[in-house]
Amino acid sequence: MLNHQNKRFSLLLLICALVWNVNVNAQKSYDIVARDIIDHANELMRGNTSVSEMEMIITRPKWNRTLRFKSWSKGIDYSLIYVTYPAKEKGQVFLKRQKDMWNYMPDIEKMIKIPPSMMMQSWMGSDLTNDDLVKGASIVEDYQHIIIKEEEMDGYDCWVIELIPNEDAVVVWGKIICWVTKEGYMTLRNEYYDEDEYLVNIERLSKIKNVGDRLMPTFFEIVPSEKEGQKTTMEFTEIKFNAPLNDSFFSIQNMKRIR
């Protein structure tokens, strides 16, 4: 169960960093430089707005399942997700506006207001919860950061930064170690540890591509350290930053019309 939660949380961080904007407030920090690096790394994965298409594959020893979706986001307040695969779920839409979240199911033409407790429910049967998709702790705000060493990773010079959660932060991890490239602030690897400093998940980021206005990893692989044959991968098949998106894009009307 812990591993399950951990896996979810790593996905949460990933999603936060990639799809949704993470709230960054100026705040006293442990290590300004390290914090700044994480802030930049985080910034790389967001923009004022983002429009993307993703594919998620859940792999287990005996089966795997694929989920594809389109996603639009603006700031930390607005987001819209449209599921494109599998056929059974195609057309489902999730809309988040500030604290409100809705789910629209086109086959029954019904809109459901998602209550906070349902946010913990698995999203579309995946390892993600609804909460993972829209809320998310901040790897900038909820942790203190220290550069512990510098080393080469996949041919890039990297800072290796340790993240320890703030005492009052509601997070699952006891510690996260991040490898961030000195050039371009790209995160290449994250290691997630539980409260007993036991390594739970390893996340590798690869397929570095120029996505238009920036160079960034577009493929993420999360492997639980103790579960053989299990992994979850996510890949941006499309991503575009800072495209103009009106607030009205994130409306009930558009939720029912988006395709």
* Chain residues in the site for another protein (CB under 8 A): 1, 5, 58, 63, 65-66, 85-88, 90-91, 97, 99-100, 107-122, 125-127, 247-248, 250-253, 257, 259
Shortest gap between Cβ of 60 and another protein (angstroms)?
A: 8
Query: Minimum distance from CB of 57 to another protein (Å)?
Result: 10
41/24 Cα distance (integer angstroms): 12
Give the shortest CB-89-to-another protein separation in angstroms: 9
Shortest separation between residue 180's beta carbon and another protein, angstroms: 31
Give min distance, CB of 138 to another protein, in A. Answer: 21
**Cβ density class 39-72: b for 16+ within 10 Å, e for less:** bebbbbbbbebbbbbbbbbbbeeeeeeebbbbbb
Sign of CA pseudo-dihedral 54, 58, 63, 65: negative
Choose between 106 and 212: whose C-beta lies nearer to another protein: 106
> Measured from the CB atom, is 45 or 67 closer to another protein?
67
Asked whether 79 and 95 are in contact (CB, 8 A), the reply is yes
At residue 43, φ and ψ (nearest 5 deg) are -60, -35
Closer residue to another protein in complex, CB, 40/90: 90
Residue 118 vs 211, nearer CB to another protein: 118
Among the listed residues 150, 192, 202, 145, the one whose alpha carbon sits nearest the alpha carbon of residue 171: 192
Is the CB of 58 or the CB of 188 nearer to another protein? 58
Please say which residue, 70 or 189, places its beta carbon nearer to another protein.
70
Q: Are 207 and 217 in contact (CB under 8 A)?
A: yes
CB of 171 to another protein, least distance (A): 15
By beta-carbon proximity to another protein, the closer residue of 27 and 122 is 122
Task: State yes or no: cis peptide before 61, omega within 30 of 0.
Answer: no
Name the region of 185 (left: φ>0; alpha: ψ -120 to 50; beta: rest).
left
User: In the bound complex, what is the minimum distance in angstroms from residue 120's beta carbon to another protein?
Assistant: 5
Alpha-carbon distance values, 231 to 57, 77, 88, 105, 236 (Å): 8, 30, 23, 29, 17
